[in-house]
Amino acid sequence: DAKTTQPPSMDCAEGRAANLPCNHSTISGNEYVYWYRQIHSQGPQYIIHGLKNNETNEMASLIITEDRKSSTLILPHATLRDTAVYYCIVMGTGANNLFFGTGTRLTVIP
Amino acid sequence: EPEVTQTPSHQVTQMGQEVILRCVPISNHLYFYWYRQILGQKVEFLVSFYNNEISEKSEIFDDQFSVERPDGSNFTLKIRSTKLEDSAMYFCASKRVDVSKLFFGSGTQLSVL
């Protein structure tokens, strides 16, 4: 299921933007990029998803490269509560099951 | 915002005992899931359930596991004869038919002694 590659860990200063990269070089045309996060053993939480256009919501922005082989999740002003494991997941149109990799552990530092 | 509710939050059992983990999915959702997470490891897919039957299951979901939707609101995971290695956090999730976004519960921490 390892369709994505993420760095195992990153740090970010509180108040700064956190930019979390994800490589998905084998993504196919009908597959979306989803981001979830898990805060300290809580249930995973949906953040955002996109196909090819950049997306923004109240939680984050998602930048997908033109060739769709990589993407970046941006938390514009990271807070301590954003410390979590962030998962980048590729999922096809009509797919119903979600499979997690190991994600990126983001630590927001005061 | 509607939530997926899981009970109990913690369950301690003796090896070989049966346990039932309970979940109340979001009311207009029709896909239901169980995942587990062993301490320090990744979140693992166990099973998905749709239209009163298992849609997909992983290798982990062997004959010791079963799922049921006993009424219109509950979704349960039964482990028939627990083993030490079943100790984990178990997450229930649900989603609507027309979107791919899953909503997760806060989990049940199962400890098998």
Q: pLDDT tens for residues A53-92?
A: 899 999 999 999 999 999 999 999 999 999 999 999 999 8
3-state secondary structure of B60: coil
Q: Is the pLDDT of residue A8 over 50?
A: yes
Contact B32, B88 (CB under 8 A): no
Q: Which of A25-29, B56-60, B89-93 has the lowest mean pLDDT?
A: A25-29
Q: Which chain B residues contact residue A46 at CB under 8 A? A: 101-103
How close A41 comes to chain B (CA, Å)?
8
Q: Is the pLDDT of residue B94 over 80?
A: yes
Instruction: Encode pLDDT of A17-59 as tens digits.
Output: 999 999 999 998 889 999 999 999 899 999 999 999 899 999 9
Does any CB of chain B come closer than 8 Å to the CB of residue A9? Answer: no
B6 φ, ψ (degrees, to nearest 5):
-125, 140
Predicted confidence band at A2 (pLDDT cuts at 50, 70, 90)? low
Interchain contact, B102 vs A44, CB within 8 Å: yes
Interchain contact, A43 vs B33, CB within 8 Å: no
Predicted confidence band at A95 (pLDDT cuts at 50, 70, 90)? confident
From residue B105, how far is each of A30, B55, B61 by CA, in Å? Answer: 28, 20, 19
Q: Which chain B residues contact residue A35 at CB under 8 A? A: none
Q: E strands of B1-113, at which residues?
A: 5-7, 10-13, 19-24, 31-37, 44-50, 53-57, 65-68, 75-79, 88-95, 103-104, 108-112
Radius of gyration of chain B (CA): 13
One DSSP character per residue, chain A reads ----B--SEEEEETTSPEEEEEE-TT--TTEEEEEEEE-TTSPPEEEEEESSS-EE-SS-EEEE-TTSSEEEEEETT--GGG-EEEEEEEEETT---------EEEEEE-
Interface test with A, best of B6, B104, B106, B111 (most A CBs within 10 A): B104
Q: Is the pLDDT of residue B15 over 70?
A: yes
Q: Which chain A residues contact residue B105 at CB under 8 A? A: 43
How close B31 comes to chain A (CA, Å)?
8
C-beta neighbour count of B8 within 10 angstroms: 12
How close A97 comes to chain B (CA, Å)?
7
Interface test with A, best of B97, B102, B108 (most A CBs within 10 A): B102
